[in-house]
Structure 1
Amino acid sequence: MTSAPADASDGDPLDREAAFYIAGHRGLAGSALWRRLEAAGFRRLVGRTSAELDLRDRDAVFAFFHETRPRYVALAAARVGGILANSTAPVDFLSDNLRIQTNVMDAARATRVERLLFLGSSCIYPRLATQPIREDALLTGPLEPTNDAYAIAKIAGILQVQAVRRQDGLPWISAMPTNLYGPGDNFSPTRSHVLPALIRRYDEAVRDGRESVRNWGTGAPRREFLHVDDMADACLHLLEHYDGPSQVNVGTGVDATVEEIAGLVAELVGYTGRTEWDTAKPDGTPQKRLDVSLLSSTGWSPRIGFREGLASTIRWYREHVGDVRR
């Protein structure tokens, strides 16, 4: 793919017969990417579970790349978690994610992977960034303390992609999605993000007949959510239509308070009891609404409305409640 302006809206389609490695293909984002690529006709998708390939093991990663020789890579593998997990295990989030990213990208460079997409997170931006958050807000202020270690690792990944572009001339790119949700999410009481935590909590309250539900924080922070299938569609679109050094925000550009989101979850699961807020617990970043102008300029927009996507996610959770990730 030849170099193009940052807002390029046309590009070359990826070869559907080429080997395409999805790192983290069992996770929320990776599994959605797999579904989208499979639906788009890619015939040689490659994935390895963490038991089959520990991406923190540099020698194993290099051996895997030399053996499989993927032409394309989507780097969706990461150690992830909500406020509790990030704030109590920052060393693990920093160390694991740095090793995963560096090993995969170094091995991809060594085997001259043609096109790589690095998947990050909107938490890379300053805690008090001007809303909506533009891509050029990166590195302009202090990070949110409850997930700064994870954010630093993701920022390092963006800079590595940019460095590869400068040094090797490879058209690698980075995508920074907002908060994702959908089938395959992690519903753990201690490791989940806010939306799956709310779904699990309110659904259990309905099943157990509880009169009240207690949520973390004040409910005042504003959050933006994107269905993971829309995220996957955006990533394929960017791989075929974008070639620029800047990370690209991937989201809807629309947010709501956590209290409003909790109310919608309660409505959709059929919960009619009280909701209480534990204000002694941290809120996290006050607001994270992405400016999606760059993504929109490439010709992409989300298709799944939040209410529709949330309802389908609740149905999926209830159908898989016995075997969801916890």
Structure 2
Amino acid sequence: MDTIDTCYGPLPIEGLVERRPDGGVRAAFLAAPAALATSIGRLVPQHTIDDARRMTKPPVTFHDNGQVRSLPLETRTVVETPAGPLPAELVTFHDNGAVARVFPLNGKLSGYWTEADEAGLAETLPLATPVGRLSAKWLAVAFDPKGRLRSLTLWPGEELPVPTPCGQLPVRLGLSFHPGGTLRSIEPARPVEAPTLAGPVWAFDPDAVGIAGDDNSLAFTPDGETSRLATVRTAVAVRLPDGSRRELAPKVRDSICGDGDHELTPLVLTFSPDAVTAAHGCAKPFAVIPKTGAHFTARPFVSAFAVSFVPKQCSM
């Protein structure tokens, strides 16, 4: 049996080994049991395929300095994290060896195993967080290189009440934290009122995609001020220093179903110390307005009440 030398000792491998230009190992498939001593305990990488959930054997990957980067586990293993014990089928690490993300489940979706099948295995898990103890079905739990909780990603369909600078709010998809522990961002589960320099704005992004909870549409400064939000229900009128006026509003678009209906692209407002930046969805900003001398006023976006908040599900 072939082996490779790593900082964790020799590892039994099968197939090709992906290497960096300097000859160091970047990725390899394990062929037999081998325990790696990590910052969260000794973990055994996946080396077999035993059911329809795990139709392929993912490789173990390594950082340029030799530290393990991505570690799929042979069996679901409870690991000790800074937020408490978590069952894990996949763990990733920072290049300093600290845990980066813990995935309680790591099944491979296919025609034989669907997202609904995988979600059926998810269990509600309690976590110690900077905003208190939270319990939900977590898709992933992320930490920064110093071991501080960075973000939480929820399973699709999960909703969780979270204390925020705007009060207790319903959260979907995910939430994240500043290094100091204050709430950095959330993804509102439905329109919620957030205070801004223009007045209250109804924050909600119908286009939000929950790939990771690191960066969400309603964001706060470490002091709890609103720093960014997406809205489909509020427009902002701006009176500029020269007396002219400008309106920042969500965008009405044709439905992707092409049936004559319309949908909304959220207005994304970013509040910096010096300016307010406006964009439509993830597009480049269409306006950057200095705060000095400008007056901002929030008002209902009337067109929103004749348009669906949620993109249509087109039938075939």
Fold match by TM threshold 0.5: no
TM-score, normalised with respect to structure 1 = 0.27
Structure number with greater Rg is 2
TM-score, normalised with respect to structure 2 = 0.27
